[in-house]
Structure 1
């Protein structure tokens, strides 16, 4: 294995961790909300945001972080990169989903359902 192959997993971890932190910042997620979405404590979510904690590729929080970034990218495309519009959509009750997306994404099932919903909507646009 060369050094590039050894660095690749660390790079993926760093990039995803930074992307998740950026989503949390743009969507104004609290540490409690981010922790619930990723299955982490609020304290660990705080460390993630500060760069003191990195998501590991074999962990459930890493997988959930990928879903969160996917949701962000899909919603960003649907909303035309309007962060205020995206935040409003997340915080508004959605009859199709049966609740506010910001509340639903706190569970694995909810995060998956909301992501699939936005992806399906995006496919029709």
Structure 2
């Protein structure tokens, strides 16, 4: 998976990234509407993405945002020891450092990047 995500010109990148995003949505129990706000797609398009009938296009904002979502997932997953319940709880809990619940922040590009950077910094301390 990492190889296909590392470069947008890899032929499997859209499929692999779409599958990864769909799995993240499942693990974090994200609705199609919420996932759509995060990656910049409509809820119906997210539904097709989750079903495998829609592919993210390389060099588009949704593709790039999906890559950042995967980065956040992997960092959070590593930091919390692959505990999906702990990840959902952390995302839903207001965070004083970030100024809001991470799940609300990641609906914007700035919030997604800030949350990813924050989790990376936490991981670096341990």
| 2:29 corresponding residue in structure 1 | 28
* SS state at 2:12 partner: helix
Unaligned runs of 5+ in 2: 1-8
TM-score by length of 1: 0.92
Distance in 2, Cα, partners of 1:40 & 1:16 = 14
TM-score by length of 2: 0.91
* SS state at 2:11 partner: helix
CA contact (8 A) 1:67 1:111 kept: yes
- In the alignment of these two chains, the number of paired residues is 118
**Structure label with greater radius of gyration:** 1
CA contact (8 A) 1:17 1:55 kept: yes
1:57 aligns with 2:58: yes
| 1:44 corresponding residue in structure 2 | 45
| 1:101 corresponding residue in structure 2 | 102
Distance in 1, Cα, partners of 2:13 & 2:40 = 19
Aligned structure 1 segments of 4 or more residues deviating by more than 4 angstroms: none
Distance in 2, Cα, partners of 1:57 & 1:10 = 10
Unaligned runs of 5+ in 1: 1-7
* SS state at 1:10 partner: coil
How big is the alpha-carbon RMSD for the aligned residues of Structure 1 and Structure 2? 0.8
Alpha-carbon displacement from aligned partner over 1:8-64 (angstroms, at most 9, x marks no partner): 633011111100110001000000100000011111111110111111111100000
Distance in 2, Cα, partners of 1:10 & 1:43 = 25
Distance in 1, Cα, partners of 2:75 & 2:29 = 18
